Structure 1
Amino acid sequence: MTVVSVDKNVEKLSLTVVAEFDADVERVWKIWEDPRQLERWWGPPTWPATFETHEFTTGGKASYYMTGPDGTKAHGWWRFTTINAPDHLEFDDGFADEHGAPDDALGVTHASVKLEPVGDRTRMTISTAFESEDQLQKMSEMGMEEGLREAISQIDTLLAETANA
């Protein structure tokens, strides 16, 4: 399996997921950089993502929605705070209403993504920082950890397809 470890740390208000892939760092970077590739894995298989905006620059924004099995749409937004190609990006992440406007009911999280070579593979570490224990608990109850595991598990297929293309 792609996911190597998941660590939810209530004291540090963080969730860290580590995964490894049979591809080099530059190739794994492209799954973040290209919105069409991002759509192939961001969100669990039963809640695929559609990115409406993806300004992949520091200060840029992304807006997306995930569509559930019953057609329900869950909207979200990102604001890229750091982009250091090809191995580090950070973004603020929040929920949005159906028009893409930020919905502050669940607050904002901050994600940090680091890519590093491990032999001929790439280790991806996604760390999410939460504003409070309450926010971490609510996101956990919504299935964030399971959703990330399922989403990341789709990356191997995407990488294999492009490697064989």
Structure 2
Amino acid sequence: MPVTAVTTDADALTMTLVGEFPSPVERLWRAFTDPRQLERFWGPPGYPSTFERFDFEPGGFAHYTMTSPQGETFRGRWEFVAIHPETGFEVLDAFADESWQPAEGMPVSRMRFEFEATASGSRFTSTTQFSSLEGLEQTLAMGAVEGSTLALNQLDIVLQDLRAYAEGKGTRTEILTDQHVRITRLINGPRELVWRAYTEPELMKQWLLGPDGWRMTVCEIDPTVGGRYRYAWAPEEGTEGEPFGFDGETLLVEPARRTVTTERMTGTDFASTTNDLTLYEEDGATLVTTLIEYPDKEVRDMVLATGMTDGMETSYARLERVLAPLV
């Protein structure tokens, strides 16, 4: 993982994070100063940011909103204090209210972002200076160390060309925490078309079949917040296996970009998961990322042991074949 250290100093009232990356320092700088790139990693998995304002100059402001899988929003703001091209910048960092003013009762800190070249690429260091021990402790209690680490560990994807990062590598599963797993797959095709494949039953029934020899018998989708869905599969004649299905509720929809649903195996009392699907397009290809939140480590390991990744890869390969004539 890119983040190599996170330390806190109660005497100095600081929290410091260090990350090492195999990319040139110029590329690292662009990732932090382009709001569209910042949106891909500024926020832990499941809480992506949308930057609505980014005035990158001393005295300017950046406004961003993080949106949880349940649709909750958390606002933040930066006031740019100093900028040193390609070596660093400093901001006053604060939680924000609806008018983008510092939220009452929340700490305001000074963050220093530093970028330096190394023999193997570049190093990023952020140092957050608090005005009081209370502010430091309040921020740590909100999970700042864990959240910052998970957020910055997404940066390696951003720094690479999307095709170089994912093309030809199939479906990849990464365990992020005891409860969270991230699954990625590059699909050759535009984001709008991939979104249709996830929301139009006639398209979905052509690719979301899992292993060969199975057919989709039920595909009911209501892709609106609060809407329900239901999928079911059965083996073809001569294929072993028992019919099964999943159902759930749509929690969040950002058309052609993100959808969050619950998922439960139909007819069982198994605990449900939360599936956070995001689509990112670059150079005519779309990175499909699914962040799955399990109730606990035991359920996570049980599901992964079923060979889920292999089944998803078969479906994704079929999806590319289905989309090819439409691209």
TM-score (ref. length: structure 2): 0.49
Structure 1 residue 28: deviation in Å? Answer: 0.3
Letter in 1 for 2:142: M
Q: Quick check: 155-164 or 68-77, which moved more?
A: 155-164
Q: Deviations over 1:54-112 (max 9, x none)?
A: 00111110011100111100001100111111111100000111332221311310000
* Aligned 8 A contact 2:43 2:148 in 1: yes
Deviation at 1:130, TM superposition (A): 0.7
SS at match of 1:40: coil
Moved more, 10-19 or 155-164: 155-164
Aligned partners of 2:57 and 2:76: how far apart in 1? 18
Tell me, in whole angstroms, the C-alpha distance in 2 between the residues paired with 1:127 and 1:24: 21
AA aligned to 1:112 is R
- The AA in structure 2 aligned to 1:9 is D
What stretches of structure 1 of length at least 5 have no aligned partner? none
Deviation at 1:163, TM superposition (A): 8.5
Once residues 69 and 142 of structure 1 are traced to their aligned partners in structure 2, the CA distance between those partners, rounded to angstroms, is 17
Give aligned pairs, total. Answer: 165
Q: CA deviation at 1:138?
A: 0.8
CA distance in 2, matches of 1:135, 1:94: 11
Find the counterpart in structure 2 of residue 16 from structure 1: 16
Q: Which residue in 1 is equivalent to 2:78?
A: 78
- Distance in 2 (alpha carbons) for counterparts of 1:4 and 1:161: 23
The alignment status of 1:127 with 2:127, answered yes or no, reads yes
Higher relative contact order (CA 8 A, sep 6+): 1
CA distance in 2, matches of 1:104, 1:24: 40
Structure 2 counterpart SS, 1:103:
coil
Counterpart in the other structure of 1:153: 153
- Do 2:112 and 2:127's aligned partners in 1 also have CA atoms closer than 8 Å? yes
Offset of residue 131 of structure 1: 1.1
Mapped to 2, the partners of 1:136 and 1:125 lie a distance apart of: 18
SS at match of 1:43: coil
Determine whether 1:35 maps to 2:35: yes
1:59 alignment counterpart = 59
Counterpart for residue 68 of structure 2: 68
State the TM-score, normalizing by the size of structure 1.
0.95
Q: Which is further off, 117-126 or 98-107?
A: 98-107
Match of 2:92 in 1: 92
8 Å contact 1:94–1:104 — kept in the other structure?
Answer: no
Q: Which amino acid aligns with 1:125?
A: T
- Work out the percentage of aligned pairs sharing the same amino acid: 38
Letter in 2 for 1:88: G
Structure of higher CA gyration radius: 2
3-state SS of 2:147 partner: helix
What's the secondary structure of 2:107's corresponding residue?
A: strand
- After superposing on structure 2, the runs of 4+ consecutive aligned residues of structure 1 that deviate more than 6 Å are none
Q: Distance in 1 between matches of 2:34 and 2:127?
A: 21
RMSD, matched Cα: 1.3
Q: Which amino acid aligns with 2:135?
A: Q
Instruction: Choose 34-43 or 103-112, whichever is displaced more.
Output: 103-112
Q: Distance in 2 between matches of 1:106 and 1:131?
A: 12
